[in-house]
């Protein structure tokens, strides 16, 4: 094209593609270019603003390493991570929610009833539920990968004072599809704000808080993996999660219980709980893989 204009640049861009371009790559690149070009035209983006955007990306690149990914955080605060989740969430299954950057592979396998909160102060929560299919049939042998912040609001990978696997565990559902464990109630916390993403939050008058949550990855043979979270219904940030992760079926009431009602057997803490605790029931529905 010898005369590229604001009107033909998007189709010109696509016309330069090779004939054997993979059709999905073509679809994605055409749509990306269309919206990017439209964005520049609609906002009449100035050179200065465009340069600021490039500097933003350079900073994000500099700050990203194997412990911190500023690009994932950018996708999270823009709502893109959650949109990708929602577009692929099955209406029959438990909603999926953001993975976030703090998952650690190879969490230690723990038996049903284990306690994740050993040595930490805070309210004990007893979390139980059933992993089931869309017909309500229990799924035995599902793996449930759990991770959360310590009561100081930090994940183990952010906190040199924690063991790397602290507040991480891998459970397996029993023959009735049940899982259960105790832990210390996680707290609301802020996403990192000392990088370029923090500047976006500041520039748009947004706070960096996420409501308290427990992260789950649930996997079972023949079913789609589910990445999700559970939130308490009394958290002040439920309606303004900075990464848009809240779905109503993931919000549970943490029901206060007396110490005496704690199960006598089946839990690592059985016989050791002397204070009121909270009970969280969170069942999870998986859909068949296709
Ligand atoms: C998290 O829940 O761990 C998280 C999610 C998105 C951005 C930062 C943290
Ligand atoms: Fe989190």
CATH topology (fold) of 75-286: Protocatechuate 3,4-Dioxygenase, subunit A (2.60.130)
Q: Is 284 a pocket residue for ligand 1 (Cβ < 6 Å)?
A: no
pLDDT of 200-250, one tens digit each? 999 999 999 999 999 999 999 999 999 999 999 999 999 999 999 999 999
Q: Is 101 a pocket residue for ligand 1 (Cβ < 6 Å)?
A: yes
CA 183, 189, 191, 193 torsion-angle sign: negative
Gap between the Cα atoms of 110 and 127, Å rounded: 14
How far apart are the CA of 73 and the centre of ligand 1, in A? Answer: 7
Going by pLDDT thresholds of 50, 70 and 90, the confidence category of residue 46 is very high
Could you tell me the residue ranges of all domains in the chain?
9-45, 75-286
Instruction: Give percent of the chain with pLDDT exceeding 90.
Output: 89
The residue contributing the CA closest to ligand 1 atom 1 is: 100
pLDDT of residue 163: 87
End-to-end CA distance of the chain: 44
Atom of ligand 1 nearest to the CA of 99: 5
* β-bridge partners, 255: 279
Atom of ligand 1 nearest to the CA of 192: 8
Report whether 167 contacts 201 (CB < 8 A): no
pLDDT of 101-149, one tens digit each? 888 889 999 999 999 998 798 999 999 999 999 999 999 999 999 999 9
For 111, phi and psi rounded to 5 degrees?
A: -75, 155
Gap between the Cα atoms of 74 and 93, Å rounded: 27
pLDDT of residue 40: 98
Q: Is 191 a pocket residue for ligand 1 (Cβ < 6 Å)?
A: yes
For 10, phi and psi rounded to 5 degrees?
A: -70, -45
Q: Is 210 a pocket residue for ligand 1 (Cβ < 6 Å)?
A: yes
Atom of ligand 1 nearest to the CA of 81: 6
Report whether 207 contacts 241 (CB < 8 A): no
Structure token pair of residue 130: 């059933």
Gap between the Cα atoms of 244 and 269, Å rounded: 34
Q: Is 211 a pocket residue for ligand 1 (Cβ < 6 Å)?
A: no
In order of 15, 30, 161, the CA distances from 19 in angstroms are: 9, 14, 56
Q: Is 100 a pocket residue for ligand 1 (Cβ < 6 Å)?
A: yes
Report whether 185 contacts 234 (CB < 8 A): no
**Best mutation site among 67, 68, 69, 73 for ligand 1, i.e. most ligand atoms within 8 A of its Cβ?**
73
């Amino acid at each position: 094209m010898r005369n590229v204009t604001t009107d033909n640049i998007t189709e010109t861009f696509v016309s330069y593609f090779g004939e054997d371009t993979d059709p999905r790559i073509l679809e994605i690149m055409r749509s990306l270019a269309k919206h990017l070009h439209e964005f520049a035209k609609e906002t009449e983006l100035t050179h200065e603003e465009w340069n600021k955007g490039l500097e933003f990306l350079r900073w994000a690149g500099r700050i990203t390493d194997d412990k911190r990914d500023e690009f994932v955080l950018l996708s999270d605060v823009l709502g893109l991570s959650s949109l990708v989740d929602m577009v692929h969430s099955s209406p029959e299954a438990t909603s999926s929610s953001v993975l976030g950057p703090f998952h650690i592979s190879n969490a230690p396998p723990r038996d049903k009833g284990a306690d994740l909160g050993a040595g930490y102060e805070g309210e004990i929560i007893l979390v139980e539920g059933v992993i089931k299919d869309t017909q309500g049939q229990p799924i035995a042998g599902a793996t449930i990968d759990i991770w959360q912040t310590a009561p100081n609001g930090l994940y183990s990978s952010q906190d040199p004072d924690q063991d790397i696997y602290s507040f991480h565990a891998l459970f397996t559902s029993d023959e009735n599809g049940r899982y259960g464990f105790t832990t210390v109630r996680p707290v609301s916390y802020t996403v990192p704000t000392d990088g370029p993403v923090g500047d976006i939050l500041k520039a748009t008058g947004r706070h960096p808080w996420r409501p308290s949550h427990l992260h789950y990855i649930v996997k079972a043979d023949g079913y789609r993996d589910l990445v999700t979270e559970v939130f308490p219904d009394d958290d002040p940030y439920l309606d303004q999660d900075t990464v848009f992760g809240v779905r109503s079926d993931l919000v549970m009431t943490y029901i206060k219980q007396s110490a005496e009602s704690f199960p006598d057997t089946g839990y690592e803490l059985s016989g050791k709980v002397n204070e009121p605790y909270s009970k969280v029931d969170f069942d999870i529905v998986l859909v068949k893989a296709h």
